[in-house]
Structure 1
């Protein structure tokens, strides 16, 4: 081989060596970059997109969360439009509407499949807040969470659903990496850590906002809670404190009347109403002025007059008086509650199953019409 051939061969060998070194350097740089330390989690490798069963599981959880949000938002919107919304921690109807629109927006985001990591994080925090509020209401003894409009659902049930959704979302997460320097695992860690904190904060806020207000003896209400605690022990001999909060209170303030507070969803109340509809020989009809009978709906939701399961409109040849307690509040009052009034002043009270006994005996609550 001549000198020219040797030179050409040497140049070829050098070129191949340089190319291999450049390739190795690039590979090392890529590996180093893939192992670049994260600010929160240390070294990591970019996660691969979810495949197979894991991807399917996340899809199912995502669609289930969207379905729950759509149902809750639709029922709340219907109740909001017909004026049958349950009292809420938000109070102001405008805030309730904002919550409804927010639920619709989050559901649409989940259904779109766009920005899965962002929608996943927002959904985890949203359902964590819902779970906190439901658990707080359950511990406070609330009969309904108010999450599904006019449909009463136990806060224990909704709290369990919310916690299950959060757990499922934390177990099955979207696999795409977040664009930027932060890794998807880092964001997931922060969201999962924040979830119980959001849950606890929401529970505490609901506890503070929904702390029951108190009905005073003079009819005023102390406290800002939507729920009002009613104590009947000190009513006798005083003006009925609920009069200012009954739509027909002015009609009950004069003369003599018997007031039955009832909840249409209360089984004992239904028995009392049924007993009142049956004809009876009442003691006060024998030579005494017949008192008015007022039926006051103490249910959480406002019902249109005439639609509740009331007794016959005729009471001892006199029409009954139909009334409602202020439906913007939840009244913690034992029903059925029978109250005898004279000039708006309470003569006596009977509550619970004792009301059934008074009705069956055909006597006024105080045991005789002379008490009137």
Structure 2
């Protein structure tokens, strides 16, 4: 028999869970009697609710992205917190950013209740430890310049709640991602993102619609932050790290498309730029060597478009300065370098 205190605690927890949308049954109690084709249709039909629910949180997601970018520009980091599926989704997103956007692996981190072993195997009771995330954040040297994103479908996971509480003491920006309205973590956060997707296809299995919503949102947080940080140009990744043949080929194609050159020129320029797509593009469009391209990108804080436009404006100004008094020809026609581009 459970002790009286344990029984009371269980009663309170059961009551709390009964009010969570993510814990309710969808009403499809006869799933095991349906054909596989019927199951596929039903599950896919229910999944259509997820992007609509994410769209309803667009304003909050935009606020979160702007907050993350502001912290990144101050040298801050983004740190995900979660347990189980939510923790794995944060770690997945963090691990994909360095190869995709060329970020430092320390810039975006993921913490999961139970530590790295919990990525592959469930660690019992780890998510109930309200103090552990604070310990881990302290070990990372959490600062006011950082952002902590707590992910919890229920919105009440103790590991995440405790981590956000600790992060507040350090002055970090707090973002909460939950699948229930009025969540505990939402009330703690500076920017609550509550994407309510409704009951799961299989009751209580929050790796389903809830997990899909979490993946969509974290994709937006980091991808859009990288766009705002100048990691893309004309919808193309220009800060990718070429770690295999496919990515090396993609680098060549990117330089070809952006600088309008052939494959041989793109490859040779990339070699001269030590594989940097951005430097190669600036070298070609500004007709400068690698060191000057690097300087221009540094002055533009890594924004390829800014580096290119500054180069073009200098050419235009130089053409105007060289024109004879009263001669409008330089203003009327592009500089030869610009025509070549």
TM-score with structure 2 setting the length: 0.28
Q: Which has the higher helix share?
A: 2
TM-score (normalizing by structure 1): 0.27
Greater radius of gyration (CA) = 1
